[in-house]
Amino acid sequence: MSKALRRRIVDELEKKYRGSKNFFLIGTQGLTANQAVELRRELRNEKVKMNVVKNSTAHHTFERIGLKDLQKFLTGMNAVVYGPDPVVTAKKLLAYKEKNQRPDVKAAVVDGKLMNAEQVVRLSKLPGREQLLSQILGVLLGVQTKFVSTLNEIPRSFVGTLQAIVDKDKEKK
């Protein structure tokens, strides 16, 4: 590959990667073309993208965007996976690996912090953003529901007391 072509590819990759904060480096050794297409399709459903890159190109791109920590993991055939939600990305990659025994997650950079493969596995076990938001919403709604129920209890008990008095008067007559 000529230097001019490599510079152009690095420029394009830099533009793609600039807006993202979460990067996963996966080893694609032994991954068939059909498996790569299937993995891309599954990732695309979650707005996650994957680029198979040459190590030299990835090395220069990582240097430009400040991901020097990932450079030491550039051995063998690699792909860069990037997307908005790191938990969803980790879950998708590890679910695919469980099903197909490939690809291996080598390392990740999540919000500027380097993570090894073991830490990525732990990250995948966390609830996703959507799950966390629904849990918070459930807690907030639960407080309001209990408050309204408590306020309704006062008139309910008052009406119950009045009904008991009315029933007692009916029994006397």
Q: What is the mean pLDDT of the chain?
A: 89
Whether residue 49 is found in the same domain as residue 107: yes
What range does the domain containing 121 cover?
3-126
Whether residue 41 is found in the same domain as residue 119: yes
pLDDT at 25: 95
> Hey, is 167 helix, strand or coil?
helix
Per residue in 58-90, pLDDT (tens digit) is: 999 999 998 888 899 999 999 999 999 899 999
Measured CA to CA, the distance from residue 113 to residue 24 in angstroms comes to 12
CATH of the domain at 100: 3.30.70.1730
| Residue 126 confidence class, pLDDT cut points 50, 70, 90 | confident
b/e burial code for range 60-97 (CB count within 10 A of at least 16 → b):
bbbeebebebbeebbeeebbbbbbebbbbbbbbbbebb
Cβ(121)–Cβ(94) below 8 Å: yes
